[in-house]
Amino acid sequence: MRKIQFVMAIALMVGVAACNNNDNNSTPGEATVKVHMTDAPADFSEVNVDVQSITLMPADTANGASEIDLGAHAGVYNLLELTNGLDTLLANKNIPAGKYSQIRVKLGTDNSLVMNGNTYSVKVPSGSSSGLKLQLNADFVGGVTYDILLDFDAARSIVVLGNGGFNLKPVIRVSTEATSGSIKGSVNPANTEGVVYAISPSMDTLSTYVDTVSGSFILRGVPADMYTVEVNPATDSGFGKKSVDNVKVVEGTQTDVGTIDLTTQSSGTAQ
C-alpha cells in the first residue's frame, strides 16, 4: 500500500563549528517547533493539499490552557513534489513545555488531485471547519526538539463517490520522536555579558548568551554526545572563563549543569 507522509520536524539542529545561537527570546520552559512537510510517491500525478493552520491542544485545559497556533505558512502544497529528501518548512514556533493531547491540521477548500491528465476537486467534509483532530499524547520537555511524523495513508483516505467525485477522509498515523536534548544552567555573577559554548569531542560548537539579569542560559537542539560547557565572560568584566567537562546530553532530556561560579582573573583560578 502506497502512502503519503507529512514530516513535521520540531527543530532538528546539528552542531556546526563556531555556530552562534542567541536564545535570549526563549526560556528553559519552552520547546521549539519547526514543522516540515515531505512526501512519498503515490498513484496520482498530483495531490494538492490546502493547508491553512496547524495547532496543538494541551492535555490539561482545566487551568485555562488554550490551543496553540503553530503559525503554519498557509498555502496549497503538491505533496508529490516533496520527494527524494525534499521538504518544505511549514512552521517555526516555541511552545510551552508540557503534555499535549492532539495536533490539529485545518485544511481549506482548494484540495485536488490529478489522475490520468484530469484534475478533480477533493472535498474534506470534517477538515474544513474544525480541522483534522489527531491524537498526539506527547510530553514535550523544555529545550528539547522533536519530530512529529504524520503518516498519511492516501490509498485509504481518498474516497471515490458515486457521482465520480472524491472525498478526503484522512487516515493518519501519528508518531513522535525526540531528536535532540538541551543544556541549561546559570552563571554567577550574571552581568558579565558572557557567552556559553557547548563543545563536542569533534569540536562542533553551539553557543548562546547568558541572560544578564538572571544569569540563566539554555542551549537548544543539542545532539546527543558528551560536551565541555565553557563560559566566556566579556573581556572587560574582570572575570575569567570557566569550563565544565563531561556534560552528557541525551535525546529527549534537559541536562542541568547547575550554577557556574566565575572567578576574577586576578585570583589566578580561572580556567
pLDDT band per the 50, 70, 90 thresholds, residue 233: very high
* Cell numbers placing 17: 563549528
**7-8-10 Cα angle (round to 5):** 135
What is the pLDDT, as a whole number, of residue 240? Answer: 93
CATH number at residue 237: 2.60.40.1120
* Cell numbers placing 204: 562542533
What is the pLDDT, as a whole number, of residue 129? Answer: 62
CA distances from 11 to 143, 146, 177 (A): 10, 7, 11
User: In this structure, are residues 32 and 93 in contact, taking their beta carbons and an 8 Å threshold?
Assistant: yes
CA distances from 137 to 22, 104, 144 (A): 30, 13, 16
User: For the chain, what is the domain count?
Assistant: 2
Please tell me the least confidently modeled range out of 115-124, 241-250, 253-262: 115-124
Does residue 112 belong to any structural domain of this protein? Answer: yes
Is the pLDDT reported for residue 231 higher than 60? yes
What is the pLDDT, as a whole number, of residue 229? Answer: 97
Mean pLDDT of 43-63: 84
Does residue 22 belong to any structural domain of this protein? Answer: no
What is the pLDDT, as a whole number, of residue 74? Answer: 93
Among 178, 194, 219, give the residue marking a domain's end: 178
What is the pLDDT, as a whole number, of residue 24? Answer: 38
pLDDT, tens digit, for every residue of 181-204? 889 999 999 999 999 999 999 888
Q: Domain span at residue 141?
A: 4-13+29-178
Is the pLDDT reported for residue 50 higher than 50? yes
Mean pLDDT of 153-159: 70
pLDDT band per the 50, 70, 90 thresholds, residue 271: very low
Same-domain pairing of 98 and 156: yes
Among 148, 178, 208, give the residue marking a domain's end: 178
Most confident of 20-24, 38-42, 56-60: 56-60
Same-domain pairing of 57 and 158: yes
pLDDT band per the 50, 70, 90 thresholds, residue 21: very low
Same-domain pairing of 83 and 211: no
Is the pLDDT reported for residue 140 higher than 50? yes
What is the pLDDT, as a whole number, of residue 41? Answer: 55
* Cell numbers placing 81: 513534489
Same-domain pairing of 39 and 171: yes
Same-domain pairing of 238 and 146: no
Among 178, 203, 226, give the residue marking a domain's end: 178
Is the pLDDT reported for residue 51 higher than 90? no
